[in-house]
């Protein structure tokens, strides 16, 4: 890796100051970083966003807001498909279960966590000791600050940082465009470029029933970036695997990804068929279908990357370079520890292959694709876990996490019986296909019925659609669970022991073994490279940077941005059919628009899934774009960084201004956004 590479999703408490200064003559000041941290937002549904006014106004992607849009929709008013505008604050719609997190502070707790795990501890004992100290740190932090507190594992176990977040749970919808312009090109253009998407959505955070007064926000740039400009992305990338060993990557290639793709294709086909049965069914399934289709395409790209011999060859070369430096600079014992760590990781993959599928089906819940089952499982486990000391609980039931868990658990968002029945039937069929119809647990789960009939029985019999029933069961504790005749509760109880057993095996035999081994690798890298390599992504706030730059594909030079005019031309060329149909307001308003306005742009900044909705900033810290995707060449960035063709894609800030001003008749929103009278 070049010393001046743009690679890295950097910690905001360990920014690449010298790299930025050497390559771009940019001084990354503490004040710049503080604003970036306090104006950036994590969405609890897996995305990012940012404050864009002092009155709590927030921008993110339409596809990140889609879950809230769907929950706020009715059969008579489809906000996801047709959009929404609150012309005054009294019209802003309160989201039933959207939680936002804003990072307030980062504290290094590595020494405290590592001190709890003594040398030669068996893996299960080491895992328990680590879990206990992390739970204690989080609870102490929460009790002291009342801020959401999470200990984050970095460098696969090489470091541990405590993150403290301010929470917003009163979040209201302000504006969303039509889905057909937010996702123009649909699945055909997904992970492709050129792109033409107004993939934006505006919310507002409230406190005490009033718009939140925020000190730090991103000023909106009406002009946006130019070619060659340095830009920054502040968001919450989900997961990368760049520090993983070759053995781990081969396991992903040969076991994990094929299984995941089989499941995703199965569920996507199921939801497509469901959506075609009725327009109302299509509305119900829209966000689930997008999620499965998006994941299917992303994982396909990852598998293609790992099937490229050049990728694994590069990882082998990186490992060899590390070993050579360790051998040159460190004592012989360190080299031996490094080799032993690699062997431990390889052995863990062999063991993981023997029970990964049952774990995924039962504990991760792939066999039970149902919101109602998730609710039932939480109720069953909540009753049991809250009787344990905080240090012994499963992570999601620790004191520091209970508020957020219950906020989701008692949500008033609608749950659709028809959709639940279809998804559950499909996932129960998938369970039987993977484990076999005579597997003892499969026989128990199906209870003498085919998957479709069993799903119908479960959905028809449960009362968990009602949030008040959920509250009553939660308040009743273990007795309410034991006495419950609700079939979904009974199903969650039926599989709980087997699921817990698989989780316990994973934590002790795989997770802890890998964590200890990767910690050895991380320490070696720290010693020979220093902190010149950013940690893998962990859905925590990171800073990425790069330049606005096009690229070449098959001899064709693609520009750094697209325009409104090019979008209209593409729609017309494809006769406005299917995913290339434009909203009527865009067709009617074409003459009003400056068709040369930049629409979507690309840069070399290092992003991944979870960065959706991330603010894209210029040197002054102004918002010049909203990240929404990668191109297909960027899917390999899960494993290796490249900037030859890989790009992230963002909505240009000038496009948002032009569309709002000319097409959406929202002067109040535009005035707030631009800070102008």
pTM, whole model, 2 decimals? 0.95
Closest CA to 295 of 331, 329, 271, 278: 271
- Residues of each domain in the chain carrying CATH 2.40.10.120: 10-99+169-236+541-674
DSSP state letters, 225-266: --TT-EEEEEE------TT--HHHHHHIIIIIHHHHHHHHHH
For the cut 80, the answer to whether the pLDDT of residue 312 exceeds it is: yes
Distance CA 163, CA 161 (A): 6
| Phi-psi category of residue 56: left, alpha or beta, with phi > 0 → left and psi -120 to 50 → alpha | left
Query: What pLDDT was estimated at residue 532?
Result: 87
For the cut 60, the answer to whether the pLDDT of residue 253 exceeds it is: yes
Query: What pLDDT was estimated at residue 265?
Result: 98
Q: Alpha carbon 119 to chain centroid distance?
A: 35
Query: Are the beta carbons of 361 and 495 closer than 8 angstroms?
Result: no
Please list the alpha-helical segments (H only) found in 120-256. Answer: 123-145, 179-182, 186-189, 246-251
Distance CA 516, CA 156 (A): 8
**Residue 201, strand partner residues:** 60
Query: What pLDDT was estimated at residue 530?
Result: 85
Q: Alpha carbon 225 to chain centroid distance?
A: 26
Phi first, then psi: what are they for 204, rounded to 5°? -135, 135
Phi first, then psi: what are they for 176, rounded to 5°? -145, 135
Angle between helices 467-483 and 487-505 (to 10 degrees): 70
| Burial state string for 419-435 with b = 16 or more CB within 10 A and e = fewer than 16 | bbbbbbbbbbbbbbebb
The CB density around residue 340, as the number of other CB atoms within 10 Å, is 12
pLDDT average, residue stretch 277-294: 95
Residue-wise pLDDT tens digits, 631-674: 999 999 999 999 999 999 999 999 999 999 999 999 999 999 99
Query: What pLDDT was estimated at residue 334?
Result: 87
Instruction: Calculate ∠ Cα 291-614-676, nearest 5°.
Output: 125
Q: Which residues contact 167 (CB under 8 A, 6 or more apart)?
A: 99, 100, 101, 147, 148, 403, 404
Please state which of the ranges 98-102, 329-333, 342-346, 489-493 shows the lowest mean pLDDT: 329-333
For the cut 50, the answer to whether the pLDDT of residue 2 exceeds it is: no
pLDDT average, residue stretch 302-322: 94
Query: What pLDDT was estimated at residue 4?
Result: 61
Beta-sheet pairing, 230-235 with 598-603: unpaired
pLDDT average, residue stretch 348-353: 98
Distance CA 610, CA 48 (A): 7
Residue-wise pLDDT tens digits, 364-399: 999 999 999 999 999 999 999 999 999 999 999 999
Length of the chain: 677
Distance CA 19, CA 5 (A): 8
> Secondary structure of 567-611 in the HEC alphabet?
HHHHHHHCCCCHHHCCCHHHHHHHHHCCCCCEEEEEECCCCCCCC
Before 194, cis peptide (omega within 30)?
yes
Distance CA 58, CA 40 (A): 9
Residue-wise pLDDT tens digits, 432-442: 999 999 999 99
Q: Which residues contact 127 (CB under 8 A, 6 or more apart)?
A: 507, 508, 511, 512
Distance CA 202, CA 225 (A): 21
Query: What pLDDT was estimated at residue 675?
Result: 86
Query: What pLDDT was estimated at residue 1?
Result: 43
Structure tokens at 633: 């060449």
Tell me the C-alpha to C-alpha distance, in Å, between residue 633 and each of 241, 264, 316. 16, 21, 21
Phi first, then psi: what are they for 164, rounded to 5°? -115, 125
pLDDT average, residue stretch 474-501: 98
Distance CA 425, CA 342 (A): 41
pLDDT average, residue stretch 521-540: 92
Query: What pLDDT was estimated at residue 10?
Result: 97
**Residue 625, strand partner residues:** 616, 652
**Residue 42, strand partner residues:** 48, 101
Q: May I ask the CATH architecture of the domain 10-99+169-236+541-674?
A: Beta Barrel (2.40)
The CB density around residue 58, as the number of other CB atoms within 10 Å, is 27
DSSP state letters, 350-417: HHHTTTHHHHHHHTS-TT---HHHHHHHHHHHHHHHTTS-GGGS-GGGSHHHHHHHHHHHT------H
The DSSP output letter for 463 is: -
Which residue, chain included where needed, has tokens 């609710």?
375
Q: What is the dihedral of CA 618, 621, 622, 626, to 10 degrees?
A: 70
Residue-wise pLDDT tens digits, 649-660: 999 999 999 999
Query: Are the beta carbons of 61 and 202 closer than 8 angstroms?
Result: no
| Strand, coil or helix: 80 | helix
Percent of the chain surpassing pLDDT 70:
99
**Residue 154, strand partner residues:** 159
| Phi-psi category of residue 50: left, alpha or beta, with phi > 0 → left and psi -120 to 50 → alpha | beta
Tell me the C-alpha to C-alpha distance, in Å, between residue 154 and each of 122, 288, 469. 22, 30, 40
The CB density around residue 223, as the number of other CB atoms within 10 Å, is 13
**Residue 161, strand partner residues:** 108, 152
For the cut 90, the answer to whether the pLDDT of residue 622 exceeds it is: yes
Q: What's the start-to-end Cα distance of the chain, in Å?
A: 49
Residue-wise pLDDT tens digits, 416-454: 999 999 999 999 999 999 999 999 999 999 999 999 999
For the cut 90, the answer to whether the pLDDT of residue 676 exceeds it is: no
| Phi-psi category of residue 42: left, alpha or beta, with phi > 0 → left and psi -120 to 50 → alpha | beta
Query: Are the beta carbons of 520 and 579 closer than 8 angstroms?
Result: no
Distance CA 15, CA 153 (A): 18
Distance CA 294, CA 265 (A): 11
Tell me the C-alpha to C-alpha distance, in Å, between residue 48 and each of 42, 187, 391, 615. 5, 22, 30, 8
Radius of gyration of the chain (CA): 25
The DSSP output letter for 486 is: -
pLDDT average, residue stretch 461-472: 98
Which residue, chain included where needed, has tokens 């979507």?
600
Q: Alpha carbon 618 to chain centroid distance?
A: 24
């Amino acid at each position: 890796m070049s010393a001046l590479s743009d690679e890295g999703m950097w910690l905001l408490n360990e920014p690449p100051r010298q790299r930025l200064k050497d390559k771009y003559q940019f001084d990354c000041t503490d004040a710049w970083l503080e604003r970036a941290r306090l104006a950036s937002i994590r969405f609890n549904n897996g995305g990012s966003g940012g404050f864009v006014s002092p009155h709590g106004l927030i921008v993110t992607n339409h596809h990140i807001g889609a879950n809230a849009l769907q929950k706020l929709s009715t059969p008579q008013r489809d906000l996801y498909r047709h959009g929404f505008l609150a012309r005054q604050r009294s019209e802003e719609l309160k989201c039933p279960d959207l939680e936002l997190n804003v990072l307030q502070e980062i504290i290094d707790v590595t020494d405290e966590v590592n001190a709890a795990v003594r040398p030669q501890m068996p893996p299960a004992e080491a895992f328990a000791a680590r879990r206990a100290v992390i739970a204690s740190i989080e609870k102490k932090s929460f009790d002291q600050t009342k801020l959401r507190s999470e200990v984050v594992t970095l460098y696969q176990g090489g470091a541990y940082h405590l993150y403290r977040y301010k929470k917003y749970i009163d979040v209201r919808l302000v504006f969303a465009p039509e889905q057909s312009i937010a996702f123009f090109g649909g699945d055909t253009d997904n992970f492709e470029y050129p792109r033409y998407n107004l993939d934006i959505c505006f919310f507002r955070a409230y406190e005490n029933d009033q718009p939140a007064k925020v000190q730090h926000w991103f000023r909106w740039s009406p002009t946006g970036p130019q070619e060659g400009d340095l830009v920054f992305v502040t968001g919450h990338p989900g997961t990368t695997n760049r520090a993983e060993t070759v053995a781990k990557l081969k396991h992903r290639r040969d076991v994990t990804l094929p299984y995941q793709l089989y499941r995703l294709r199965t569920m996507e086909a199921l939801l497509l068929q469901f959506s075609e049965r009725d327009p109302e069914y299509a509305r119900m399934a829209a966000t689930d279908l997008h999620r499965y289709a998006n994941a299917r395409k992303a994982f396909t790209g990852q598998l293609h990357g790992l099937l490229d011999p050049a990728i694994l060859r590069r990882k082998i070369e990186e490992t060899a370079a590390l070993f050579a430096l360790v051998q040159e600079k460190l004592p012989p014992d360190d080299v031996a520890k490094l080799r032993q760590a690699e062997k431990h990781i390889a052995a863990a993959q062999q063991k993981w292959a023997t029970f990964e599928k049952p774990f995924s089906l039962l504990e991760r819940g792939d066999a039970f694709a149902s919101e109602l089952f998730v609710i039932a499982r939480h109720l069953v486990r909540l009753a049991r876990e809250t009787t344990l000391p905080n240090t012994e609980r499963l992570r999601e039931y620790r004191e520091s996490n209970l508020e957020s868990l219950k906020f989701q658990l008692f949500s008033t968002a609608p749950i659709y019986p028809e959709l639940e029945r279809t998804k559950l039937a499909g996932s129960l069929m998938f369970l039987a296909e993977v484990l076999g119809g005579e597997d003892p647990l499969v026989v128990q789960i199906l209870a003498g019925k085919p998957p479709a009939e069993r799903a119908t029985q479960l959905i028809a019999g449960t009362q968990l659609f009602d949030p008040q029933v959920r509250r009553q069961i939660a308040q009743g504790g273990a007795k309410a669970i034991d006495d419950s005749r609700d079939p979904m509760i009974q199903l969650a109880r039926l599989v709980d022991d087997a699921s817990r057993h698989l989780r316990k095996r994973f934590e002790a035999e795989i997770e802890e073994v890998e964590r200890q081994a990767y910690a050895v690798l991380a320490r070696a890298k720290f010693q020979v490279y220093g902190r010149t390599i950013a940690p893998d992504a962990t859905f925590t706030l990171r800073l990425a940077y790069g330049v606005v730059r096009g690229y070449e594909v098959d001899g064709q030079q693609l520009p750094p941005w697209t325009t409104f005019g090019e979008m209209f031309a593409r729609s017309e060329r494809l006769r406005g059919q299917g995913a290339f149909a434009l909203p009527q307001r865009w067709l009617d308003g074409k003459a009003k628009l400056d068709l040369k306005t930049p629409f979507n742009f690309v840069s070399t900044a290092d992003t991944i899934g979870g960065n959706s909705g991330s603010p894209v900033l210029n040197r002054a810290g102004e918002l010049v774009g909203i990240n929404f995707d990668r191109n297909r060449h960027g899917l390999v960035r899960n494993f290796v960084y490249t900037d030859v063709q890989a790009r992230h894609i963002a909505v240009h800030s000038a496009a948002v201004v032009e569309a709002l001003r000319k097409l959406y008749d929202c002067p109040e929103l535009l005035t707030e956004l631009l800070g102008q009278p």
